Amino acid sequence: MFLKSKKFWIGIGIFLVLVLFLYPKEKSISYEVIKVERGDLVQTVDVTGKIKSENNIFLYFEASGIIDRIYVAEGERVRRGDVLAKLNLDNLNFLIKQAEANLNQKVAGVSEEQINVSQKQIDSAEIAYRKAELNLENVKSLGEENLRSRYISMVDILDDTYIKLFDVLKFSENVKDLYFSGLSQEDISIKNDIEYKIKENVNMAKDCLDNAKETKSIEDIQNAFLKIDQSVKEAVETLLHIKSASEGVKYKDIILPTIKTALDQNKLTLSNSQITLTNLQNEVSLLKLQNENNINASKVLLEEAEAYLELQKANHELLIAPLRDVDLAYLRSVLDQAVLNRNKAIIYSPLEGVITKVNKKQGELISMAEPVFEILSPKYQVEVNIPETDIIKINVGDKADMKLDAIENITFLAEVTSINPASTSIQDVVYYKVILSILEEDSRVKPGMTADILIYTDKREDVLYILSRGILTDKERKFVRVLNEDGEIIEKDIEVGLSADDGKREILSGVLEGEEIVLKIKDAN
């Protein structure tokens, strides 16, 4: 009995031990968090370059368009900040005024009359868009019709040229029968030229020309043109061959002077035909280029009309939407962007210097890749290569700190004065050349010195921010995981702004200062 009781209690003990070790314990979870903070943010680009002696700086527009005004001439001295040239700013100024009005309107609230006006602007923009669409179709249609008419008018010229070729063929065959019917090497060579360079070409040219007359298609007329042009060139070569043979010892006294004169006349006739055909081809090429330019210009107008329509629709949606902080932030950013876009259409002198060259005139079309001015800088410059991931952050006028390896514990002030829009590939990485001018004079600064540059590209003051690694993305949605007072994790959608140094990201809306953002969930066990 005692043994049974002892075994029983031993079994109970083993069971309890197993339960203690095998029963799952409640897991303890902790979180790595950061707080939403308020403060100032700065965005910089860190690069290395070389000091260069004074040199011409190329100045570009940062937008494409028609040059409206050029305010300076070659040899003129300018000061930093002087306006040197501008594109047509009418549309850009209008967009600024519109952005300002939208912002002020949102702050003040919206009336029924404003909503009606906004809708009418959409209606007007839609009409303008449809007109631009129709204009593009008309330009294409008119261009095709003009080109087709020009090709059809070519047929008469080609027909006249064919007749001249046929006359040359008959004349050449007559000369062959009279003087080159023998079996000498020269006779055989000339007979082959007449057979294959004139007769065969003339026959094929006739087939192509007959087909072009029947179909009146641009493709067939172009084929006929090419064949007749080739036939004329080879017929001229054959006439030159016959002329050369007629001056040889064997034929010099045999071939009549009238035949030689006729050879020259036929060659002159075909040479004139060659000139006519070349001019004709040039006219067609010019017409095609004009058509292409007209179509491209109409496409630009259509794109502008579409952009304006989308802008009006977006403005209307903003107008009727409830007022939110994020809306004001967006409208302010639209205004800032509109001002930035206008400034890109104006060239300001980045420094005091002398204009050494003016490459463009008022009224000319200009692209971002074409330098407008060259200005001689009296100061040292730094040339740096900026990778494509950073170039969009940099603008002319951005300030920079510069340190030189050769001069310790001294920071020099510099400024971006030129951005070359043409890219350069270095070891399969795309770079853009940027010139900075050193704003301070120091006799210790020498050409060739290595400079470490920190360019200040943007900043924000008194804004909310968190570390970028706390921001999650799901398609176009950006959100954070917030730890609430009950220790629960909730997701909050956010609007983000500037990507700043040290991995910080501006938060426009969605969270409050002091809220805890979960970076990582940790298992304490």
User: For residues 187 and 116, which has the higher predicted lDDT (pLDDT)?
Assistant: 116
Give Cα 118 distance to the centre of its chain: 33
Least reliable range by pLDDT among 3-7, 41-45, 506-510: 3-7
Distance between alpha carbon 238 and the CA centroid of its chain, in Å?
51
pLDDT of amino acid 21: 55
What is the structure's pLDDT at 104?
A: 84
Using pLDDT thresholds of 50, 70 and 90, give the confidence band for residue 18.
low
SS3 label, residue 455: strand
What pLDDT, on the 0 to 100 scale, is given for residue 466?
92
**pLDDT (mean) for 94-117:** 82
Quote the tokens at residue 520: 């990582």
Hunting for tokens 């000061």 — which residue is that? 79
Residue at 28: amino acid letter: S
CB 228, CB 210: distance < 8 Å: no
Q: How confident is the model at residue 452 (pLDDT cuts 50, 70, 90)?
A: very high
- Region 372-382 average pLDDT: 82
**Which helix (H) or strand (E) element contains residue 47?**
strand 37-52
Question: How far apart, in Å, are the Cα atoms of 156 and each of 100, 229, 344, 375?
Answer: 62, 14, 53, 56
pLDDT classification of 418: cutoffs 50, 70, 90: confident
Residue 453 confidence (pLDDT) above 90: yes
- Rounded to an integer, what distance in angstroms lies between the CA atom of residue 227 and that of residue 205? 6
DSSP conformation letters of 123-185? HHHHHHHHHHHHHHHHHHHHHHHHHHHHHHHHHHHHHHHHHHHHHHHHHHHHHHHHH--S-SH
Task: Put residue 241 in one of left, alpha, beta given phi > 0 → left and psi -120 to 50 → alpha.
Answer: alpha
Q: Which of 36, 103, 34 is nearest to 509 (CA)?
A: 36
Query: Picking from 16-30, 294-308, 424-438, which range would have the lowest pLDDT averaged per residue?
Result: 16-30
Tally of CB atoms within 10 A around 177: 10
- The answer, yes or no, to whether residue 64 has pLDDT greater than 60, is yes
Pairing of strands 407-426, 381-387: unpaired
Q: Is the pTM of this model over 0.85?
A: no
Domains of the chain: 43-86+336-459 (2.40.30.170), 140-297 (1.20.120)
Q: Which residues partner with 365 through β-bridges?
A: 66
Predicted local confidence at residue 173, as pLDDT: 84
What is the rounded CA–CA span in Å between residue 333 and residue 340?
10
Determine how many CB atoms are found less than 10 A away from the CB of residue 479: 16
- pLDDT tens column, 259-276: 888 888 988 888 888 888
| Residue 427, helix vs strand vs coil | coil
φ and ψ at residue 364, rounded to 5 degrees: -80, 150
**In 218-373, which ranges are continuous DSSP H helix?**
218-246, 257-320, 325-344
SS3 track for 261-298: HHHHHHHHHHHHHHHHHHHHHHHHHHHHHHHHHHHHHH
More confident: 321 or 194? 194
Is residue 25 predicted with pLDDT exceeding 90? Answer: no
pLDDT score at 325: 67
Residue 17 has pLDDT above 60, yes or no: no
Return d(Cα 478, Cα 326) in angstroms, integer.
Answer: 14
225-236: burial string, b at 16+ Cβ within 10 Å, e else: bebbbebbebbb
The per-residue pLDDT for range 200-237, each reduced to its tens digit, is 888 898 889 888 888 888 888 889 888 888 888 988 88
Q: Return the pLDDT at 19.
A: 53
Q: Are 29 and 522 in contact (CB under 8 A)?
A: yes
Amino acid identity for residue 306 in this structure: E
> What is the distance between the alpha carbons of residues 86 and 65, in angstroms, rounded to a whole number?
10
Residue 22: which pLDDT band, with cuts at 50, 70 and 90? low
Q: Cα separation of 94 and 308, whole Å?
A: 11
Task: Give the model's confidence band at 381: pLDDT under 50 very low, under 70 low, under 90 confident, else very high.
Answer: confident
Q: Comparing 446 with 324, which gets the higher pLDDT?
A: 446
Q: 52 with 447: CB under 8 angstroms?
A: yes
Mean per-residue pLDDT for 471-477? 86
* % residues pLDDT > 90 (the chain): 24
**pLDDT band at residue 20 using 50, 70 and 90 as cut-offs:** low
